[in-house]
Structure 1
């Protein structure tokens, strides 16, 4: 990958520059990757200074939402496996494949997975000092592809821009969250784009999210569009329910995103063998009734940005407010997953790609 400008030397982690509390997605690292698709092929990616990407107001991404993205992370190596080790990318090849699926669904060219992985590796290596050194923090990476063709015909673009943005971040949620059962709007319908990371999926949630934030809730809990009777996912996370010794999660479909963290959590639970993992429909009314009866239940979300986020309160428009006080399973799984991501645990090394310091 070419570099503009030439890379400067990299030192230790910028603990004296990065604040102890990073927030999520508000601090941008100074380098990005950019690649263009023109005349039917991908041009070589370029490492360059962070700045605006030139685009027409008539671009397909702005006019018709032809835009997809991924969310992934680089974690500082806290296991001290070798002096050369800098950080780990977590399951980058899975993110590359999902990025390709998203592109196909929106009529966009696939970026070869090996190119996707090499771009994030090169960016993280160049930004080594921006990978935070505290447990649970990461360099969050946002690969994005947008249609840039300038015309208003209702058909796919023929030119595209691929970028990778990096931001030193905390987890999206650092405390248990309050969730709202959304019975009016729907996140996704059958045959739509609910199972890919299309930008419009998230924009469609903003009106609901803004209203919920004003009421003290962090995420909507979306129900199926057909019946409004079963749980699907949160806006930014997949859903898990521990009920006794069973761990339940809705089965994947064309309305539910195949979360990389979701799959990782299921694998960790299967490894431990203390819970039975089941993919099955979760009726919302039955879940709420069980919580209200005081059954042994935990609800939590999983996602790249959030890692594992326990639910403290469930509410809806009827005035229902149900508190969940047990978060032991969610807390344990979060710590187990962070052990893997930071290289502390030696299990599931196949999920990690080591990125040395440049």
Structure 2
């Protein structure tokens, strides 16, 4: 009879990147199309938290993580992530890749960690891990406008213990995948009137892994009816707009651009915040206020000048061309000009072809003394 697995996280040691590994990546030829999440870059950053402190993140070849079947995160969902991107610098002088607002992502990652009872990671350490990973993977940063090296920082509870208590050991991993631009054509949105994405006091305002699994069953009618995105309503009245499947939502009526205010149920999107800052440059009046779905659909039916669009790290900005629901309602939205202009302005910043507010363009310096082993 075998002994039970130990209740400590003891992964198989991952070897450091061999000498000359980065040099061997320089001749990579990326396929076309890239898709999303299928082509994984061959390097990851990884660090472990034990005995009350984090070890320094290091780079390792992409490979399996050795987890016990009773690892805490697999049973109780103590797991968070971020989504962010490195962009090819397309400015006149070129230059190293650019990270978009990495410190804001670090702060949001830590807010998610605290909400799920997990240890924070120093912002400088978080960003340095990204810099080292992107510097090694520079050949994997696609060259076409809108494409990116998508980065997925993840943390999960790694204690092997079925007790319903927070983990005491954690694993931090950053993965990378070269990706095409999302939603290059307008999307359609299905109003979800039964399921709820999040409730007051819950985890809707952070990037907890379980938030996304909870949307899978609700997406069945969306796919069956040929729609792209769920449009979630509030959990109390099923009346007020909250988010799309994985994007914040904006509505433009005339020269007013508004979005639901942040709350326990709405994620503080980095792109959302960026658009609130950029909107006035288009002559728009910005407002954060509740958006009544009936007010919105009535305005569309009345032929008002209305746009609806989503925004997020993956999509950047995604204009909506059709809203529908299970009653057979189908409301076309012919106007998408504002969404498309905001998308182009944001891509200009992300690719370094125009100036940006402080902290929005973060240059990834080339490695001079090799990656952290």
The TM-score bracket by the shorter chain reads: over 0.9
Residue 102 of structure 1 is matched in structure 2 by 112
Residue 22 of structure 2 is matched in structure 1 by 8
**What aligned pairs does 1:310-321 form with structure 2 within 5 A after superposition?**
310-321=319-330
Distance (whole Å) between structure 2 residues aligned to residue 305 and residue 191 of structure 1: 26
Residue 68 of structure 1 is matched in structure 2 by 80
Using the size of structure 2 for normalisation, the TM-score is 0.92
Using the size of structure 1 for normalisation, the TM-score is 0.95
CA contact (8 A) 2:16 2:61 kept: no
Residue 160 of structure 1 is matched in structure 2 by 170
Shift of 1:174: 1.9
Residue 40 of structure 1 is matched in structure 2 by 52
- With over 3 angstroms needed to count, the CA separation of the structure-2 counterparts of 1:351 and 1:3, relative to structure 1, is farther
Cα deviations by residue, 1:233-267 (Å, 9 ceiling, x for unpaired): 11210000000110010000110000000011111
Distance (whole Å) between structure 1 residues aligned to residue 215 and residue 268 of structure 2: 18
Residue 219 of structure 1 is matched in structure 2 by 229
Distance (whole Å) between structure 2 residues aligned to residue 20 and residue 339 of structure 1: 23
Distance (whole Å) between structure 2 residues aligned to residue 239 and residue 13 of structure 1: 40
Distance (whole Å) between structure 2 residues aligned to residue 110 and residue 263 of structure 1: 22
CA contact (8 A) 1:22 1:168 kept: yes
Residue 149 of structure 1 is matched in structure 2 by 159
Distance (whole Å) between structure 2 residues aligned to residue 19 and residue 292 of structure 1: 44
Give the counterpart of 2:299 among 290, 305, 309: 290
Residue 360 of structure 2 is matched in structure 1 by 351
Shift of 1:169: 0.4
CA contact (8 A) 1:60 1:66 kept: yes
Give the counterpart of 1:27 among 29, 35, 39: 39
**Aligned: 1:123 with 2:138:** no
Cα deviations by residue, 1:5-33 (Å, 9 ceiling, x for unpaired): 3343167684xx21232112221000001
Distance (whole Å) between structure 2 residues aligned to residue 202 and residue 196 of structure 1: 11
Residue 61 of structure 2 is matched in structure 1 by 49
Cα deviations by residue, 1:32-71 (Å, 9 ceiling, x for unpaired): 0110001111112120111111111211110000000000
CA contact (8 A) 2:84 2:100 kept: yes
Give the counterpart of 1:307 among 291, 309, 316: 316
Shift of 1:172: 2.8
Residue 183 of structure 2 is matched in structure 1 by 173
CA contact (8 A) 1:13 1:130 kept: no
Give the counterpart of 1:209 among 219, 229, 237: 219
**What aligned pairs does 1:130-145 form with structure 2 within 5 A after superposition?**
130-145=140-155
Q: What is the Cα-based RMSD across aligned positions, in Å?
A: 1.4
Distance (whole Å) between structure 2 residues aligned to residue 171 and residue 213 of structure 1: 21
- With over 3 angstroms needed to count, the CA separation of the structure-2 counterparts of 1:12 and 1:242, relative to structure 1, is farther
Residue 248 of structure 2 is matched in structure 1 by 238
Cα deviations by residue, 1:202-234 (Å, 9 ceiling, x for unpaired): 000011123312221111100010111100011
Residue 111 of structure 1 is matched in structure 2 by 121
Shift of 1:292: 1.3
Distance (whole Å) between structure 2 residues aligned to residue 101 and residue 350 of structure 1: 19
Say how many residue pairs are matched. 352
CA contact (8 A) 1:13 1:128 kept: no
Distance (whole Å) between structure 2 residues aligned to residue 125 and residue 10 of structure 1: 14
Shift of 1:334: 0.4
